Amino acid sequence: GENVEQHPSTLSVQEGDSAVIKCTYSDSASNYFPWYKQELGKGPQLIIDIRSNVGEKKDQRIAVTLNKTAKHFSLHITETQPEDSAVYFCAAVDNDYKLSFGAGTTVTVRA
Amino acid sequence: GAGVSQTPSNKVTEKGKYVELRCDPISGHTALYWYRQSLGQGPEFLIYFQGTGAADDSGLPNDRFFAVRPEGSVSTLKIQRTERGDSAVYLCASSLAGGPGDQYFGPGTRLLVL
């Protein structure tokens, strides 16, 4: 099955700086890579996703890049704000529907 | 518009008891998923329904766990003879048609087995 590794486990950034989270996956057949944001006491919320036929996708302050050859993908958050503080999970879909999640990154944005 | 809802939000039970956790998916979503999230970890897949049938139950940890979706909408996750190791957040997600696409998660049920 798919194995997703995520780094770093914690990330502290100054407000206005950028945050980068990196993930690697093991199954070359995986073709869909969503990112989720989870706030305390809530379920994961989809914030951006990328499919295997695209190398980069951007949505306002959030961007995701994918390198299929190296089997890694990254989340970039620019101009961070205090409300960006949360746990972020990367995931990869194998078997066409089964999400395999990374262990999460706790992002803290210092005001 | 209503998202995925789960009840109860919290459940405390004693070791050996039976529990049922309910999930109401987004209206019109044919695919429904259950995940389990332990403290400090990412969610782990349990079971996937397409319509009324369990298309993949390979993530259920053992035969104490069972899930149903009799009418293709609401789903119930059932845990028999609960153990302390079952304590976790149980998350439900739904998507429009299954396949590699958006899965929308509910807030989860926090289960504590004493």
The amino acid sitting at A94 is D
Confidence of residue A97 (pLDDT cuts 50, 70, 90): confident
Extract the tokens encoding A27. Answer: 């199954």
Q: Does A93 touch chain B (CB under 8 A)?
A: yes
The answer to whether A95 touches A27, Cβ cutoff 8 Å, is no
* pLDDT band of A37, cuts 50, 70, 90: very high
Round to whole Å and give the CA distance between A17 and B21.
41
Question: pLDDT of B1-60, one tens digit each?
Answer: 589 999 999 999 999 999 999 999 999 999 999 999 999 899 999 999 999 998 899 999
Rounded to the nearest angstrom, the minimum Cα separation between A15 and chain B is: 24
Taking alpha carbons only, the member of A39, A97, A46, A100 closest to residue A75 is A46
The separation between CA A44 and the C-alpha centre of its own chain, rounded to angstroms, equals 12
Hey, is the C-beta of A83 within 8 angstroms of any chain B C-beta? no
Separation of alpha carbons A37 and B84, rounded Å? 28
* Least CB–CB distance from A99: residue in B45, B55, B98: B45
A·B CB contacts under 8 A = 65
Mark yes or no for CB contact B102/A34 under 8 Å: yes
Provide the pLDDT for residue A24: 98
User: Which residue of A7, A57, A99, A100 is the best one to mutate when testing the B interface, meaning the one whose CB has the most B CBs within 10 A?
Assistant: A99
